[in-house]
Structure 1
Amino acid sequence: MSFVTVRNVFQSYGPRPIIERVNFEAEEGAFVSIVGASGCGKSTFLRLLLAQEQPTRGDIRVAGADPAREPGLDRGIVFQRYSVFPHMTVRENIVAGESFRRPWGRFFGADRKAALARADDTLARIGLDHVADQYPATLSGGMQQRLAIGQALVAKPRVLLLDEPFGALDPGTRLSMHDFLQDLRAETGMTVFMVTHDLEEAFKLGDRVLVFDKPRWDPHDPNRYGATITYDFDARDGGIPFQTLKEDTHVLQANG
């Protein structure tokens, strides 16, 4: 049974179509990478999955429930730009991510002590344990993005949405964050959708790779038609060779 079901989804902003005729199903625990040229509706699709926006037509269902009208705790997101709580220390930001599901949104007593220990373990895994007592404003942009990713992951949503989450990270840190994401996904079974312009990253992390593109194009009015899923690749067990896709599929040459 499908866990995430997207049925005939269209989204327009005023008269301008962004995506059209999007149909898709994903099993629970899947990792879906999304690629394509800029302006093809990838981030819009994530916002629809989050229920931050409502589609012009069609519906999106998670676990068979009615379409969500607003974001809930079952869905988490990390945007291209870091988003953390500036009034909390780095450690407290991680604890806050885990506390979202608690009745009062806070830990007390022995529970708080255990949550702080888990936060320190998370910070060590994402390379921020040396700044645990600092505030986000004192960190570099890349460090703040690592913090935002760690905070979203420890909240353990059923669906995690990532919009170019590793773009601001140096290559070594990016690889360590890949490992952290894969480990936590294995532990929690969360379903992940990730937008990226890095094809190697898309195929490394994803079980499936979706390509968004505009199958119809009007040279006199480039905004006349919206984008849709034009390719859906199985990336498991090596999938289709990366080089072949890069050579044969022009739309995969996403260039930001």
Structure 2
Amino acid sequence: MFVLLGVALVVIGFALRINPLLVVTVSGIVTALIGGIGPLDILNAFGTGFAGSRSVTTFAIILPVIGLIERYGLQAQASRLISGLKGLTTGRILALYMVVRQVTAAIGLTTIGGPAQTVRPLVYPMAKAAEERRLGLDVPNQALPEKTAEKIKAFSSSSDTVGLFFGEDVFVAVGSVLLITSFVDTNYGLSLEPLNIALWAIPVGIVAMLVHGSRLLMLDRTLKTMAGVVPATAATRAGGAL
């Protein structure tokens, strides 16, 4: 049971808001040492995992591309698009994105979205623009309160994370499903088929969609109570413009 101290370290590190990469690395090393694995074997495991996961280095390609398209106004264009659609609120935009993310992940398209390539340059600016339109903050020198903007950022990321996490297990060939089946077969001698896991993941994914989708739809009400800016009328907009 002492090897579970690594899990406790992760919980404590995240609660103290220490760098997640450092927390996970230290927790892994501590768990391995408690489990009787030597330093060289630990280093070998880290090296093998890094070399075997080529996706670790994809940030070297993604970040310059995101920076380039943002430089040429991707966020501004996304905000301008949403500002003309009256029916879309912040919560509805994020709920719609979560559904799309979960459905696409369920059919194996797990890499078409993500915090870096989708949430930051597209989803968050659109959600933020919807709230700015609701508050009438299209006047120069006015912006969302910091707490409101941070709340939208958090829910934008959560819509992507929840959609991916509960959607990818429906796809039988995803790595997490294959890891579960191989672990159960190796350690417990049970025959567990990937299709069974995928089928049981469907009702779990539906529940996750309903629960977090409801939270996203209720976000609009939360933002109304958080906003310290009174929605602008035509008169106040004219006055602000002057």
- The alignment's TM-score, normalised by the length of structure 2, stands at 0.25
Q: Which has the higher contact order (CA 8 A, sep 6+)?
A: 1
- The alignment's TM-score, normalised by the length of structure 1, stands at 0.24
Q: Which has more radius of gyration?
A: 2
Which is richer in helix?
2
Which is richer in strand?
1
